[in-house]
Every structure is written in structure tokens, then in C-alpha cells.
Amino acid sequence: MKKNYILLSALLVLVSAFTAAFGGSAETAGLSIAGRIAARDFPSVFQAWSPADNLPNKDRLAVMAMHDLVWHGPGGFGLVWDKKPRGLAEAFTSESIKAGRKIRRKLLKLNPNIILVAEIRYRDAHPGFLPDGHRWWKRDKQGNLVKGWGEGGFICLDFANPKFREHVAQRARAAVQSGVVDGVMLDWWRDDDDRLALVKEVRNAIGDKYLIIANTNDCTAPKSASYINGYFMECTRSKSAADWQRITATLRWAEKNLRPPHVNCIETWYHNSRNDLNLMRATTTLALTHSDGYCLFSDPNPLPSGDHRHNWYPFWNKSLGKPVGEAAARDDGTVVREFENGSVVYNPMGNRPVEVTFSEIRKSVATGTSSERHKLTYPDGDIYLKIEP
């Protein structure tokens, strides 16, 4: 977490505005990447590929813009690779770059602080991604193709091949140089030698300005930390107190050790249904108290309906402003953090129900109740807003 957050935010906004006025292009005018990250209010939610699907009357881009950070394949932002099969390409068609920049402008108009990130595939892909028999498909010792993952029939790619790593880096470079996205996302991340070589190439190709997000699940990856701005914490395990302790430890580590500006993204899955509202609130308040990052509560991956689909919850509507301090652990086992407009309290799994008290009347976002005293279950969390006199 950052000390003097508001002062830092104001400074970044001023620097970004100066850059836009005197050095930015028509496509990038506005706040810089760091400026947009610092300028946003909280809670702050991200979209991982799939949208919030409980708002059928809202335009697709309007729903996307409710999130402060979005990643998708390049096609999700209108970009089209200029070769077929698309896995061979290292550039986008000029027409699609124009279309992608138009989408970017619309999204920034709807949410001036949104961050857009393109996933660059390196670990596996659909069978049509490369020609049959291509040298970049990964094979076992018997020469058989290695399956990527159960859903979708994907096949592994050979990122141990230096030529393929160079190719992936050039695709990342094309994505950020298109003017459509602010960085790239690398899925299935671990700290092995081949991935370390890959992220070094990607960072060298895209430069220092742009973001790299890597999916480490609930684990750290210390060797590659200096090249990566944020973890996608796709937390597949969240049913025990030990799971939540591990998630918390990884999130805190990432906030302290990754490359700034930080864009850590924590996602948990529901246990019974999207109405596991206490788990949604626990995920949200964990992110709010232990990071300056982004949160998501979504469907479990094994469902056939598509990964990372989710509801938009009213609890996520901007209400807090910006943080004014760091988190503090309380004797009752909860963690609290102060924001401009109120307090956030996180009550982790493995604790007990608590009573949250204030010296003034506060409004609970979870219950709508205004009182000096509020009951809080576990695992759960709540936002307690100040009430104007």
C-alpha cells in the first residue's frame, strides 16, 4: 500500500495532465497509465475476459467501463491480427487499429481512469492458432501434441523455444504500440526459467511505460517480480481459513514487491451461487484493506457457461473516494482501513462475528442500516460510510 496516497495521486494527475498537454498524442491524451491508476475512486473492480451479465439493458461498452481494469484477447478491443492463422502474426491490420482506438476513446469517455490490457497467448492456444505440424506446438517425448487444458481442446505452445519467445514479445509490442491498450497479460504464470526468459523479452519489447500482468493464482513468483506490475490472483481455492490466509499473504507481498505502478487483481469464485454475498464482500474488503488493487467475484471456472462471468453488485458502486491511510489490525481479528468517505472492515474466514462500533452514525453499504453499531459476520466485510450532518 502507498503512504500519502492522496498527495501521490494529485502529483500523478498533474504530471499526467502536463504530459497529455505537451507530449501526448490524440489517441493517448488524458491521464497517463500511472495517473489513471492513482486517480480512480474505490471500490475498484476488474473484468477478466468475460463481462458482468446481469445488466442486459446496458450497452456492452458501458458495462465494460464500469470496471476500472479490463483484459481480453486483442479481438475484444477490436484488434485483428494481419495474418492467418493468427498465431503467426506480429502486427494488426490498420483498419482494426483504427477501430480499436475508437473503442478505447469511447471507454475512456465513459471511465477516464480505465486501464485496458491485452492477453498475449504463450502457454496454449486453440488448434487453429498455428498451422498443423508447426514447430511451435509443444510435443512430448513420443512426438504427441501436449494438451493445454480440459476446456476448449487447447494445445500447449513451446515457449521453451527461443524463437517463439521472441515472437511472443513482438506480439506484445504490437499490442501496446497499437495505441489501443496499456499493457499485456500473461496467463498461467510460474517462476521457471523459460517463463523468466519470456517475461524479460516481453519487458524489453514493450519498454518501461506499459504494464505486464501475470496470472500466478494465489502464489508469488519472486524471480520475475521486477518485470511484472500486477498479479491476476485467480484464487481457485477459497474454502478454508488457510486459503484466505494464503491469498492475503500473496496480495500483501505483491503490493510490496512487484514493479510500480501496481495493478494487483484478486478474484475469488462463489461456493454455492452468485448470491454468496458475504464472500463477495469479503473479497472486496480484503482488496480494499490490504492493497490499492482491483477485485472480482465470479463464477467458478468448471461451469460450462464461460469463465469469469459475474454479476455487477451495488456494493461495488463508487462510494469511498480514495484511501487516506493504511490498514490496521484490530484486537477482534478484523482489519480496518480509512477512506475519504468512510471505513472498510474485513472480517476473515476463521474469525468470529464481531460488532463494529463508531463514535458517530455510519451507514452500512451491505445492509443500508445507519447506526453507531453494526454486526459483521465472517467471512465478510463491509463499507461504513460517513453521513453528512
Query: Which burial class, exposed, middle or buried, applies to 99 when counting CB atoms under 10 A from its CB (0-12, 13-18, 19+)?
Result: middle
For residue 183, tell me if it sits in a domain.
yes
Does the residue 389 lie in any domain? no
Report CA torsion sign: 316, 35, 267, 343.
negative
pLDDT at 306: 86
> Which range marks the domain in which residue 291 is found?
40-123+159-318
Residue 81 located in a structural domain:
yes
Q: How many domains does the chain have?
A: 1
Q: Is residue 64 part of a domain?
A: yes
Question: What is the radius of gyration, based on Cα positions, of the chain?
Answer: 21
Instruction: List, for residues 251-307, the tens digit of each pLDDT value.
Output: 999 999 999 999 999 999 999 999 999 999 999 999 999 999 999 999 999 998 889
**CATH of residue 295:** 3.20.20.80
For residue 341, tell me if it sits in a domain.
no
Q: Is residue 93 part of a domain?
A: yes
How many other CB atoms sit within 10 Å of the CB of residue 237?
14
The DSSP secondary structure of 279-290, one letter per residue, reads: HHHHHHHHHHHH
174 occurs within a structural domain? yes
- Would residue 154 count as lying in a domain? no
- pLDDT average per 10 residues of sequence, the chain (389 residues): 47 45 44 97 98 96 98 98 98 98 98 98 97 97 91 91 98 98 98 98 98 98 98 98 98 98 98 98 98 98 92 98 97 98 98 98 98 98 94
pLDDT at 16: 46
**Cα–Cα distance, 277 to 165 (Å, whole number):** 42
378 — alpha (psi -120 to 50), left (phi > 0) or beta? Answer: beta
